[in-house]
Amino acid sequence: MTIMRLRLGCLLLVFMLVLNAFPLAAKARDELKNEDPDKYYIFLDTNNQIVTVYEKDDAGEYTRIVRRMLCTTGRTTIDPEIPDDKGTPTPKGIWKIGGRERFGKFAAFAGEYARYWTQIVGGVYFHSIMFAKRDINTLKMSAFRSLGNNVSHGCVRLYVEDAKWLYYYACPGTKVNVSHSERNDHALAQALKTDLPFSEYNTLQKGYYDDDELANYTAWVVTEAAELRTGNGTNDKRIMRLPLQAAVEVLQVGDPWCKIKYKDREGYVKSAYLTFEEGIMNSRADADIMRGTTYLQTAPEKKAGLLFKIPVATSVKILERNPEGWLKVEVWGEEGFIPERSVTKGWGLLHN
């Protein structure tokens, strides 16, 4: 039994939280250029549509600018013709980088693809401007021309070269601070916009190559409750119910959702509904999971420092219970405190 568990642990190195440290253990099927989640700190300014990557100075503070990029973030304008329209803003707060995919398909939209996906939270990613097919020859002119405007469904679009840099260097566990309240700096945003016309940029981006991609992992469905959806949430459209014990190709490893391919369909399924070792369960129906998205804090008090936001349905390991209604937990390789009321029972990953 011990040998079997060791074997399982090695096989599931990429399956975060099975070893209790998702984004630290999660990897794309590419070799990353950086595996230190503390090396960089990413600041996303949605007001000016600018992404800035910092590294530490001699005093250990993130002040040195490594890279700045123009982006397109989520739509904040409201359509008066749609009564319930709330826009699709990129969610603010401090998040941890999660899963990734080299050239992904948008499961919710027909004819939409992008290169170099790097997850911020849930269905919100850094990725390149869009393509019409999983083909570098199909870059969309409209997405190229609209870069720098907040018109996306929540994701952060980038020039291909910038998306590629984040894909390889912003490893799982890297923190991203999304701010909606920075002062206007139109001059900087304009300076980051390419001078190349679309035709020349299109030729340029075709030259961004990668090493051969490693084969994707196979996982198996462990419950009849498994549903393939168009996004990372139970409110997203259901594509189909997955057969029990079906083998699926894993396109993105994540918690609480993985992106998979089953036959010719791509979409998202809860990570706890899968196992990476056929016949062995690494999840349970009564695990400790997040009731809602909540900050992990530095101390068991309301005014304590904020570490990062834990997304809804993420599995957590409870270390201690506080009589004042706080829990000390471990999540994604980091310890901190959350209110006890923020945890519930549901399908989640096991902690060893």
Tell me the pLDDT tens digit for each residue of 267-299: 999 999 999 999 999 999 999 999 999 999 999
pLDDT of residue 95: 99
Decide: residue 60, CB within 10 A, 0-12 exposed, 13-18 middle, 19+ buried: exposed
Please say if the pLDDT value at position 10 is more than 80.
no
Q: Which of 72-86, 192-206, 219-233 has the lowest mean pLDDT?
A: 72-86
To the nearest whole percent, how much of the chain has pLDDT over 90? 83
- Can you name the residues that pair with 45 across neighbouring β-strands? 50, 179
> 238-250, pLDDT tens digit by residue?
999 999 999 999 9
User: For the chain, give me the number of helices (H) and strands (E)?
Assistant: 6, 23
pLDDT of residue 269: 98
pLDDT of residue 7: 40
| C-alpha pair distances (Å), 239 with each of 15, 231, 236 | 24, 10, 9
pLDDT band at 192 (very low <50, low <70, confident <90, very high): very high
- Which domains are delineated in the chain? 1-17+214-352 (2.30.30.40), 30-205 (2.40.440.10)
**Looking at residues 325-346, what average pLDDT do you find?**
97
Q: Which of 73-87, 110-124, 242-256, 280-294 has the lowest mean pLDDT?
A: 73-87
User: What is the overall mean pLDDT for the chain?
Assistant: 91
pLDDT of residue 147: 98
Report the alpha-carbon distance of residue 226 to residue 229 in Å, rounded: 10
Buried residues in 243-280 as b, exposed as e (16+ CB within 10 A): eeeeebebbbbbbbbbbbbbeeebbbbbbbbbbbbeee
Q: Considering the entire predicted model, what is its pTM? A: 0.90
Q: How many CB atoms lie within 10 A of CB 227?
A: 17
Of 231, 139, 174, nearest to 51 (Cα)? 174
**Looking at residues 199-223, what average pLDDT do you find?**
95
Longest dimension (CA), the chain: 64
pLDDT of residue 25: 39
Residue 202 CA from chain centroid, whole number: 27
> 19-52, pLDDT tens digit by residue?
344 443 344 468 899 999 999 999 999 999 999 9
* Long-range contacts of the stretch 140-148 (C-beta < 8 A, 24+): 141/198, 143/72, 144/198, 144/201, 144/202, 145/198, 146/72, 147/70, 147/71, 147/72, 147/193, 148/49, 148/70, 148/71, 148/72, 148/189, 148/192, 148/193
The token duo for 93 is: 């707060």
> 129-182, pLDDT tens digit by residue?
999 999 999 999 999 999 999 999 999 999 999 999 999 999 999 999 999 999
